[in-house]
Amino acid sequence: MEPSVQVRDLKRDRVNFVLENVDLSFANSLRRVMMAEIPTVAIDIVEVEMNTTVLPDEFIVHRLGMIPLNSMNCDEALRYNRDCTCSVSCRYCAIQLVLRVSCNDNETLHVTSDHLEVVAQTSYDDEGEVGDELSKRSEEFGHPVGKGNPNHQPVLICKIRKGQELRVKCTAKKGIAKEHAKWSACSAVSFEYDPYNKLRHTSHWFEVDERAEWPLSDNAKEEEPPRENEGFDYNAVPKRFYFEVETVGSVSPQEVVLKGLRELQAKLANLILAVQSTSDMPSIEGADVPAQMAMQPPGPAWGAPVATSPNNPYASPSGGQTGAWGGGSDQWSGRGSGTSPSSNTGWNSTSPSWDSGSGAWGGASSWNI
């Protein structure tokens, strides 16, 4: 069965859709990639020139980092600072913003994201290779979300009273939420399947009456309720997945979903290429891998640079068959090193993806806020 999708609702900041005829692992990967691997722009470096507010510098800097900045088409409109050839940052790899507010009235002044101004960067000597990034930007690229819209409530940074001042210079960079959650394009991705719990993927704890204490979600209307005394179908697998993707406003929900799908394709294409260039050594039967398998990803849509054969960094002739395991005798000796719980060392073979259910924030470093 072909995978299919039905968009139930689309709003400015959210999309609700039903994904059908896909594997649980597939749906979960889509969820994870939308949460953690959509590139956006966020303030990354802040130079505090003057801060006489009641909040300490670190506090304000952290709040600035969390402000969503317009990141439409961020893939092409900005390059990663780490990939840029400039010495520190330039207009191709960073957006400069300033915040200069002082209070001279007797009323409390609210410093908000609307006070952040993008500084137009002119060209100068120390910038990276010339690229077409600038032409890929919309006018609002890098501006705080909703700035200039009278109906939009800005993000409060701090409150200042008479005589207090806040002057900062910010450098916004491109990044993904795997590195820091401030780059997440999504504030929430909800993901539900099997609203009646027919598959027994969870067990409902209850006092007296399970049905009264576990109200059904709205998605239950989409599925047939189980009949009385229906037997347990141990071959059943989840097929319908109910998604709601809620963005922070930096990227449209359409873009989040489509970029997520692209990102997954890029990952897979890179894996195919890598596997083939590694196994194309004469020692292995992979030499007859059909040429059509060397999927050349189409065009510039592929976010991550895909290695192509001429300068393929993977194609070193030394091969990956041996080594690394020290003779390949006892491959699993490194298993369960120390502190990790046993669930991390077991093979996630047949059971559905429980361990990865906990989501994209798995790596500890994601929390370095």
Out of 104, 106, 311, 368, which residue is the one contacting other proteins (CB under 8 A)? 368
Query: Does 275 engage in binding with other proteins (CB under 8 A)?
Result: yes
Query: Does 204 engage in binding with other proteins (CB under 8 A)?
Result: no
What is the per-residue DSSP string for 181-194?
A: GGG-SEEEEEEE--
Query: Does 1 engage in binding with other proteins (CB under 8 A)?
Result: no
- Compute how many residues bind other proteins; rule: CB under 8 A: 106
Stretch that binds other proteins, among 101-109, 164-172, 205-213, 356-364 (CB under 8 A): 356-364
Query: Does 309 engage in binding with other proteins (CB under 8 A)?
Result: no
Out of 164, 248, 309, 310, which residue is the one contacting other proteins (CB under 8 A)? 248
Stretch that binds other proteins, among 59-67, 105-113, 203-211, 337-345 (CB under 8 A): 337-345
Distance in angstroms (rounded) separating the CA atoms of residues 177 and 71:
13
Residue pair 57/78 in contact (Cβ under 8 Å)? The answer is no
Query: Does 13 engage in binding with other proteins (CB under 8 A)?
Result: yes
Subset of 24-63 contacting other proteins (CB under 8 A)? 24-26, 28-29, 32-33, 36-37
CB of 286 to other proteins, least distance (A): 5
Contacts of 114 (CB under 8 A, 6+ apart): 144, 147, 148, 154
Out of 87, 123, 217, 322, which residue is the one contacting other proteins (CB under 8 A)? 322
3-state secondary structure of 359: coil
3-state secondary structure of 163: coil
Distance in angstroms (rounded) separating the CA atoms of residues 281 and 320:
9
Subset of 68-87 contacting other proteins (CB under 8 A)? 70, 72-73, 76, 80, 82
Distance in angstroms (rounded) separating the CA atoms of residues 129 and 132:
10
CB of 123 to other proteins, least distance (A): 22
Q: Could you tell me the strand order of the sheet in which 117-119 lies?
A: 40-51, 165-175, 95-102, 117-119
Subset of 92-151 contacting other proteins (CB under 8 A)? 136, 138-140, 145-146, 148-149, 151
Out of 85, 188, 268, 308, which residue is the one contacting other proteins (CB under 8 A)? 268
Query: Does 274 engage in binding with other proteins (CB under 8 A)?
Result: yes
Q: Which is nearer to other proteins, 167 or 362 (CB)?
A: 362
Stretch that binds other proteins, among 111-119, 192-200, 202-210, 275-283 (CB under 8 A): 275-283
Distance in angstroms (rounded) separating the CA atoms of residues 295 and 308:
10
CB of 294 to other proteins, least distance (A): 9
CA 174 to chain centre: 12
The sign one gets for the Cα dihedral 180, 184, 190, 191 is negative
Task: Give the tokens for residue 257.
Answer: 């979903």
Query: Does 249 engage in binding with other proteins (CB under 8 A)?
Result: yes
Given the structure tokens 């109906």, which residue do they identify? 151
Out of 174, 180, 182, 240, which residue is the one contacting other proteins (CB under 8 A)? 180
CB of 121 to other proteins, least distance (A): 21
Contacts of 220-228 spanning 24+ positions with Cβ under 8 A: 220/195, 220/196, 222/18, 222/195, 223/194, 223/195, 223/196, 225/196, 226/196, 226/198
Q: Find the radius of gyration of the CA atoms of the chain.
A: 25
Q: Which is nearer to other proteins, 52 or 345 (CB)?
A: 345
CA angle (132 as vertex; 247, 130 as ends), nearest 5: 125
Interface pattern 277-296 for other proteins (x via CB under 8 A): -xx----xxx--x---x-x-
Is 46 exposed, middle or buried, given 0-12, 13-18 or 19+ CB atoms closer than 10 A?
A: buried
Distance in angstroms (rounded) separating the CA atoms of residues 233 and 236:
6
Out of 55, 66, 220, 264, which residue is the one contacting other proteins (CB under 8 A)? 264
Stretch that binds other proteins, among 94-102, 198-206, 218-226, 276-284 (CB under 8 A): 276-284
Q: Which is nearer to other proteins, 91 or 178 (CB)?
A: 178
Out of 153, 296, 308, 309, which residue is the one contacting other proteins (CB under 8 A)? 153
Residue pair 40/364 in contact (Cβ under 8 Å)? The answer is no
